[in-house]
Amino acid sequence: MIKIKENLFFMLYACCIPVKGAKRSIICDLQRDTFTYVTNEIFDMLNRPISLDKIKDSAEKNDVTAILNYLKEQGIGFYTSNPENFPKIDFASNDFPEIVKNAIIDFDKNSDHNLLSIVEQLSELRCSAVELRFFDEISQDNFTEYLSCFAKSTVRALKVVLKYSEWTTIENMDEILFDNKRLRKIVIHHSSNTLSQKPNTQSRIHYVTDQIKDAYHCGNISPYYFISNISFFKEALTSNTCLDKKVCVDSKGYIKNCPAMDTSYGHINTTKLKDCLNNEQFKKMWHIQKDDIEICKDCEFRYICTDCRAFITNDNLFSKPKKCNYDPYENTWN
Amino acid sequence: MKTYSELIKDTDRTYYSLNFLLAEFEFTENLEKKIEVMNNSIHCDYFETRDFKPEPYYKAISSCIKKFE
């Protein structure tokens, strides 16, 4: 908040949060899912009250005014004489009812785990989002049967990663999306071409040439995965942006924090998902924040970027994700 | 004892809220009375719209694609 003149202050909107990096800062707009680059000097300026009347140098005064006006034009901030009427967002409150927020269930041609049983267990844990990943081809009938397992579930968003086959045409996918409102995103790998379709306002279909053969293809860090919304930002401040309240079943049926990790906490045929949640070691991964991770803690994108603990740069559990090639000290993607 | 959500067709369940579906696990002693109360409750259009639809999730659950075109 910056005092402009007597009884007039410049404020950022509550949903626009500045984040300082090693060399530059960003202002995350948590309502519009965007961010704006600013210099660290502007970040520092926004974090302390300044009275324009006290700036003797007229050139500096002009600069500050120009910056504030620019931020106002961008819809990031505003002038007010009543700053006390605009409190900050309370990121401390916990408004997630889910015991498990999301889950990944992997399948390959040798998998024999019972999806319906897993979905019933996830419903008891109030899980609201699931990703199904199929590394090998499956028939359309089997796929439809898998989707029907969610009919009585608490899952409100479903994402599917499928291997390209004859029936995975755009027309079929459109029909499947129409019949399954929970299904928000379909990614079809091993495709010969790349194609992105948005059949309605809520759903996406992506055909990609990537050859996703197993869980080890996960963990990519790129601007594509940046998310600037309140839920994600809040999660990043207190817990791990990938693994928080996540349970996974790998293609062999083992329960893990992430299918790409080695440590398992039992087999789905013999262990209940809720029993894993009593294991403190299982929940340890949930609490690794970006602020705890080497290099990430200096990155301006740390609260809008996904994390990966399966692939890290060295043996230290708190080291930078291996598949991230951003250098926050030089602001370059290598 | 029955739950109200048992009356909802499987094909229609996607239109109901998380809280509503959780009622699956809470049995009621007098289902008729519950239905009567629900039918006579005052509707709020805003919350009905927001609460009863499947939601886009707020983040990517995994990141196995390197680059989207």
pLDDT for residue B35 = 77
Taking residues A275-281, report their average pLDDT.
92
A125 closest CA partner among A105, A103, A158 = A103
Instruction: Give the minimum alpha-carbon distance from B1 to chain A in angstroms, rounded to a whole number.
Output: 18
The pLDDT assigned to B48 comes to 41
In whole angstroms, give the CA distance from residue A272 to residue A255: 9
Grade residue A144 by pLDDT with cuts at 50, 70 and 90. Answer: very high
pLDDT digits (tens, 9 = 90+) for A183-200: 989 999 999 999 988 887
> What are the distances in angstroms from CA A279 to CA A60, A130, A220, A282, B36?
57, 22, 28, 5, 44
Query: How many contiguous H segments (helices) and E segments (strands) does chain B have?
Result: 3, 0
- Which residue out of A133, A225, A229, A232 would a mutagenesis test of the B interface target, given it has the greatest number of B Cβ atoms within 10 Å? A225
Residues of B in contact with A232 (CB under 8 A): 58-59
Residue A308: half-sphere exposure toward Cβ, Cα within 13 Å? 27
Q: What is the pLDDT of residue B36?
A: 81
Cβ pairs bridging A and B (under 8 Å): 114
Please answer yes or no on whether A129 and B11 come within 8 Å at the CB atom: no
Hey, what are A62's tokens?
């002009």
Q: Which of A157, A217, A224 shows the shortest C-beta gap to B56?
A: A157
| CB–CB contact B68 A195 (8 Å) | no
Nearest to A192 by CA among A164, A160, A162: A164
Full DSSP string of A163-174: E--TT--HHHHH
Of A59-68, A112-121, A281-290, B52-61, the one with minimum mean pLDDT is B52-61
Say if residues A28 and A91 touch (Cβ distance below 8 Å). no
Helix (H) or strand (E) holding A143: helix A140-148
On chain A, the residues whose CB falls within 8 A of the CB of B63 are: 218-222, 225, 242, 306, 308
Q: Is A306 an 8 Å CB contact of chain B?
A: yes
**Do B14 and A180 count as a contact with CB atoms less than 8 A apart?**
yes
Residue B21 CA to residue A292 CA, distance in Å, equals 37
Contact by Cβ (8 Å): A314, A327? no
For residue B45, give both structure tokens. Answer: 């259009």
Q: In angstroms, what separates the C-alpha of B10 from chain A's closest C-alpha?
A: 6
The DSSP letter of residue A254 is: B
* Lookup result for tokens 């992430």: A258
pTM: 0.83
Residue type, A301: F
